[in-house]
Amino acid sequence: MKIALPLQFSFIATLVVLLISSNISGGYGQCLGDQKALLLKFKNSLTFDSSLSTKLVRWDQNTDCCQWPGVSCDQEGHVLVLELDNETISGGVENSSSLFDLMYLEKLNLAYNDLKSVQIPTEIYKLTNLIYLNLSDAGFVGQIPMELSRLTKLVSLDLSYNNLRIDIHGSNSTSSLFPQLEVLKLVSCELQNFPDLKNQSHMSELDLSDNNIKGKIPSWIWSVGNGGLKYLNLSCNLLESLEKPYNISTTLRVIDLHSNSKLTGQIPTSICNLHQLQLLDMSNNSINNRIPPCLFQKIHHLRVLNLGRNKLSGLIPDTFPRNCNLEILSLNNNMLEGKVSRSLNRCAYLEVFDIGNNKIRDTFPCMLKKLFNLHVLVLRSNMFYGNLKCPIANQTWPRLQIIDLASNNFNGYLLPQYFSNLEKMMPSSKFPEPEYLRVEVFNYGKYYLDRVTVVLKGREIEIVKLLAIFTSIDFSCNNFQGEIPEVLGDLKLLYLLNLSHNALTGRIPQALGKLTQLESLDLSVNQLSGRIPDELVGLTFLSFLNLSFNQLSGRIPRGNQFQTFSADSFEGNTGLCDFPLKKTCSDIKVNELSQPSSHSEHEIDGKYISFALGSSVCFGIVTWLLLYSQRYNELVDRLLFRILGQHKKSGRNKNKRRSR
């Protein structure tokens, strides 16, 4: 009997799948007995919290060890990978000989554990096949062992967030401390000096950030990796200057020198030759002089430029290229002057533009309206002037989530069209966003999380990781006038609204009660009048409110968050009453009934005074004309004769009618 052809194909396909799955079950072969025994012995030597463990707790004698979580094997059943990060391990690693008998191990990850201040075991050298070693944030202390240099196959080493030290005064040079690596991370290891890496010929990624390294940045650092260095992070140290000459490697894609507060000097023009550079962060330093014009003109791949919080002066170069790829440009807290570069509108991918706290004197930069991807616009504390009207039609900022124009000289009315197109602040926003505002730089999955300073709840704070859902409008400390537009009520995803210290008039719009996500509302120091809308009581997330120094009147609404605000939120409004103020509304009513308001008295007195004054002036003029003007007397005589003559005639006519 012949089997149907489709059934044959089905049988063969099923057989192939079974063979493949048995060969690479989970991608690996079946565990060898000695490997399982070593792993179980290693587990038994460890101290960890079984209630929080997700890997070790599932290692079981009756199952294939190559299927255990955190374990991977080759096809012969040798353990190649051991990933026990975040397993609450608090001890036992330093005394476990079985770990170092896993001679085939290529990758070991013990990061994010809580070892109780133990040294890195010197037996680590036995793992001669190790390619990847991650011991970051695991609780290791003490000197980095020289035995690491014997791991000749090691490519990536991460010892970050441990309390380690390097003995630069010992008999062995630190140049022989590490094998030839491609990646070295020593973040936050309490290092006092640069390790000697001059002989590292393969290194492409070096991270020495968040240490206590002092002095000059050595000129040899730019030659690490024989000109193949791509990533260099020396941020958050105590560095003071750059040692000359600046033979900066042209292969660099990331240079991060931020937060070395004593770092002085000027930006080297040789950086302009780094045609592959994607990120340059020199913020929070003492860099001075001008921004080199070539920095914008030549680096076409630059995506992140942060020079904020320095001592830079002069103009912002108007040299942005037509193929500009910038996504983040932060020049805040410097001494920059002049106008906003008009060529900036060529940077179509720009997401963050921050030039706050400078000396820029310009009108509102309308050309930025063309930047469809803009998320953050900060112009605060400059010398901008004029209104916000732009001649550009049908241009919107659909993704704008932070706009900060505070502390300038802007004026004019707050027109509805300024806010009606801010789609990112509306529930109907059609732009899905990641959790944080970030830019992917470098090809190894690294992200630059931007920092933005905002005034939140009356205090200036720096948001280090900017949530993509955080939204804010700050127009405070300007000269805006007129009423608050009702359209603001459509921005239901708004977190912060600050219109304080302006010349706004009219009532507080009831529509603000629709801002259900609002956490901070500041309308203080304006000329707002009328009652506080009861709708504001529905803002249950509101944790900061300032309506002080306006002309508001009536009872302060009660309920929800309003019960938590102090009298400071309402001071300077003489017409307001009830909690939390000491003045009760009944007191105001009694006073109003017992005596007329001073405003009414002044009004009545003013009317009587005006009438008396006008009558006196009129009487004086008429008297003078009668006494001294012959022509005026003749005119009056004729007028009287006419009136009296007509009166006599009308009298005669009446008599005639009666006689008839």
Query: Which residues of the chain register pLDDT less than 70?
Result: 1-29, 167-175, 392-395, 429-435, 443-445, 449-450, 587-660
Q: What single-letter amino acid sits at 335?
A: M
pLDDT of residue 627: 54
Residue 107, domain extent = 30-166
Position 107 in a domain: yes
Position 613 in a domain: no
Position 507 in a domain: yes
Residue 494 to residue 376: CA distance in whole angstroms: 14
Residue 518 to residue 560: CA distance in whole angstroms: 14
User: What is the separation of C-alpha 257 from the centre of its chain, rounded to a whole number of angstroms?
Assistant: 20
CB atoms within 10 A of CB 650: 9
pLDDT of residue 300: 85
Estimate the crossing angle of helix 630-659 against helix 598-628, to 10 degrees. 90
pLDDT of residue 174: 62
Report the number of distinct structural domains present in the chain. Answer: 2
Confirm if 329 and 351 have CB atoms less than 8 A apart.
Answer: no
Residue 390 to residue 396: CA distance in whole angstroms: 11
Q: What tokens appear for 120 in the block?
A: 């890195």
Give ∠ CA 362-365-369 in degrees, rounded to 5: 175
Residue 493 to residue 401: CA distance in whole angstroms: 10
Q: What tokens appear for 332 in the block?
A: 């805040």
Pairing of strands 438-441, 446-449: antiparallel
Position 46 in a domain: yes
Among residues 587, 615, 649, the one where a domain terminates is 587
Among residues 136, 166, 196, the one where a domain terminates is 166
In this structure, the chain runs to a length of 660
Position 314 in a domain: no
Confirm if 108 and 130 have CB atoms less than 8 A apart.
Answer: yes
Position 152 in a domain: yes
Position 532 in a domain: yes
Q: What tokens appear for 267 in the block?
A: 């930006």
Among residues 131, 166, 201, the one where a domain terminates is 166
CB atoms within 10 A of CB 586: 10
Position 62 in a domain: yes
Residue 254, phi then psi, degrees to nearest 5: -135, 125
Residue 450 to residue 452: CA distance in whole angstroms: 7
Q: What single-letter amino acid sits at 526?
A: N
Q: What single-letter amino acid sits at 101?
A: D
Residue 585 to residue 70: CA distance in whole angstroms: 69
Pairing of strands 544-546, 79-83: unpaired
Residue 453 to residue 435: CA distance in whole angstroms: 19
CA dihedral for 9, 14, 17, 18, sign (positive or negative): negative
pLDDT digits (tens, 9 = 90+) for 409-452: 999 999 999 998 899 999 875 655 666 777 878 766 677 766 77
pLDDT of residue 460: 79
Residue 438 to residue 133: CA distance in whole angstroms: 28
Location of structure tokens 């003045």: 583
CATH of the domain at 485: 3.80.10.10
